[in-house]
Structure 1
Amino acid sequence: MDEHLDADNPPVDQNVGGGPTENNDAGGSPTNADNTRGGPNADKLELTKVLKKATMDDRTVIITVLNEAWALPGSIFDLFLESFHIGEQTEKLLNHLVVVARDPKAFRRCKLIHKYCFLVQTQATDFSGEKSHDYLKFRSLELLTSVLDLGYNFIYTDTDIMWLRNPISHFSNEAQITIASDYFCGNSSDQRNQAICGFLYVKSNGQTIEFFKYWIMSRTVYPNKNEQQIFNIIKQDGYATRLALEVRFLDTTHFGGLCYPNKDLSKVCTVHANCCVGVKRKIHDLKIFLEDWKNYTSRPEAERKRSGISWRVPDKCKLS
């Protein structure tokens, strides 16, 4: 779960309120005054409204979290949306994408180019350093817990993930949580798989709500670990078993990374630039990657079905 704090992407100071002043039909608090009067209840009402508009028939939404640096024109957000437009059976999924903006500038940019945007008001604090990075990650978990509590399933995706094929058919019917993996040992049920929290599908029920609350609470038990490290600990500590919670891991053949060795355009669904530090490097390599995808999809169908067609990157990312 990448909150975009890296060398080329400095943290953006965020204040209480601070929302855009324009009217907002799709979500987010439109004014400081409204946010002050309504507080958390008003935010929850706005979240409910945007989720209701964006949901699929089975009450599933797609969620990504965005800040100012990644929302700039020509930055990561534009590439993210482009991947949906040029992917196979993915463009229609934009009708179900909710973009959670971490700051007013990201919110305004989202409203210009996407239908469903929601502004999260974050308390004023110092957003420099590793502790603030982890704070924002756990704030995202709190938001996702609220989504579950409202009765919505969600597919969470980092914004530096390119969507090339509809991933839904790969999600387990039996599992309550289906999550990407950094290391996949060949068995989707094997807890030795190392989870990546930047892409996960979660069903809304009492089990997942309790697990997410436990995940957030575990920050106090493991104060020096981030949310992904904590997930990889608690998935095996017995609590998930007591909840009868089923977790499945996605095969890296279909849900891999930009720098992974098993690069096959005929099989991949999503590609994550999590190996790359620095927004400029990410943009450079993701642009090349999307060019390779366009070249691939322009080929005859018989040629596209052939295995082993790869992409040219990493280029700049391999330096990180």
Structure 2
Amino acid sequence: MWFRNPFPYFYPDGDLQVACDHYVGNATDLRNIANGGFNYVKSNNQSIEFYKFWYSSRLRYPGYHDQDVLNFIKHDPYIMDIGLTIKFLSTTYFGGICEPSKDLNEVCTMHANCCIGLQSKLHDLRIIMEGWRDYMSMPPSLKASGAFSWRVPQNCRYNATLELS
């Protein structure tokens, strides 16, 4: 779900910018767990070569989902060889069910990650949307206080700690 314009939060020097299931606090740290469900890519020689490499790498990792393959190949020396700059997007602005943005005053997108099955995703995205509507109906002074938080998803796996609204 898109709540705000994400473009101001993209890095000017990133060829591939990808959301995270888990963000370790540094946009260039390869320990971030990439989530291929939301990314911003500059079309250039580096990103074109990367996508060819990512696509062909599925043959090296049979049976794995494309996101798993991405998390494997981000460490491959070929990434440095082609000069690709990968930036991981902070869950402060690009949250997900795995690691939701804690500040509704900052969040731009919310992804239904860490969730298996369309019905489970839709169910919990509805809960998130209800929370967003409740937040948007609050007076500005309450929004600024940061006292409101997401409701806990019911059908999707959830690893972070949230306050109950």
What code does the residue aligned with 2:14 have?
A: A
User: After superposition, where does 1:151-190 map in structure 2 within 5 Å?
Assistant: 162-190=1-29
Contact 2:94 2:101 in 1 (8 A): no
What code does the residue aligned with 1:173 have?
A: P
Q: 1:242 aligned to 2:103?
A: no
Structure 2: how far apart are the matches of 1:270 and 1:193?
18
What code does the residue aligned with 1:204 have?
A: S
**Residue in 2 aligned with 1:138?**
none
Greater helix share, 1 or 2?
Answer: 1
Q: What SS does the corresponding residue of 2:99 show, helix, strand or coil? A: coil
Pick the aligned partner of 2:48 from 202, 206, 209: 209
**Residue in 2 aligned with 1:54?**
none
**Residue in 1 aligned with 2:57?**
218
Q: What SS does the corresponding residue of 2:95 show, helix, strand or coil? A: strand
Pick the aligned partner of 1:274 from 113, 128, 142: 113
Structure 2 vs 1, CA of residues 290 and 262 (structure 1 numbering), >3 Å: closer, same or farther? closer
What code does the residue aligned with 2:64 have?
A: K
Q: Deviations over 1:127-169 (max 9, x none)?
A: xxxxxxxxxxxxxxxxxxxxxxxxxxxxxxxxxxx11111111
Q: Highest relative contact order (Cα 8 Å, sep 6+), 1 or 2?
A: 2
Structure 2 vs 1, CA of residues 261 and 290 (structure 1 numbering), >3 Å: closer, same or farther? closer
Q: 1:233 aligned to 2:57?
A: no
Structure 2 vs 1, CA of residues 318 and 170 (structure 1 numbering), >3 Å: closer, same or farther? same
- Tell me which structure has the larger Cα radius of gyration: 1
Contact 1:266 1:308 in 2 (8 A): no
What code does the residue aligned with 1:304 have?
A: K
What code does the residue aligned with 2:135 have?
A: Y
**Residue in 1 aligned with 2:103?**
264
What code does the residue aligned with 1:191 have?
A: L
User: After superposition, where does 1:1-320 map in structure 2 within 5 Å?
Assistant: 162-260=1-99, 263-318=102-157
Task: State how many pairs are aligned.
Answer: 158
Deviation at 1:259, TM superposition (A): 4.8
Deviation at 1:263, TM superposition (A): 3.2
**Residue in 1 aligned with 2:163?**
none
Q: What SS does the corresponding residue of 1:252 show, helix, strand or coil? A: coil
Deviation at 1:289, TM superposition (A): 1.7
- 5+ residue gaps, structure 1: 1-161
Q: Percent identical across equivalent pairs?
A: 47
Q: Deviations over 1:252-286 (max 9, x none)?
A: 12212135365332221111112222322322222
Structure 2: how far apart are the matches of 1:171 and 1:301?
26
Structure 2: how far apart are the matches of 1:248 and 1:305?
29
What code does the residue aligned with 1:180 have?
A: A
What code does the residue aligned with 1:170 have?
A: Y
Structure 2: how far apart are the matches of 1:286 and 1:273?
7
Structure 1: how far apart are the matches of 2:101 and 2:122?
21
**Residue in 2 aligned with 1:25?**
none
Runs of 4+ in 1 over 6 A off after TM superposition: none
Structure 2: how far apart are the matches of 1:259 and 1:246?
25
What code does the residue aligned with 2:139 have?
A: P
Superposition RMSD in Å: 1.8
Q: What SS does the corresponding residue of 2:145 show, helix, strand or coil? A: coil
Structure 1: how far apart are the matches of 2:90 and 2:101?
11
Contact 1:211 1:240 in 2 (8 A): yes
Q: Deviations over 1:173-205 (max 9, x none)?
A: 011111011121111011111110000000101
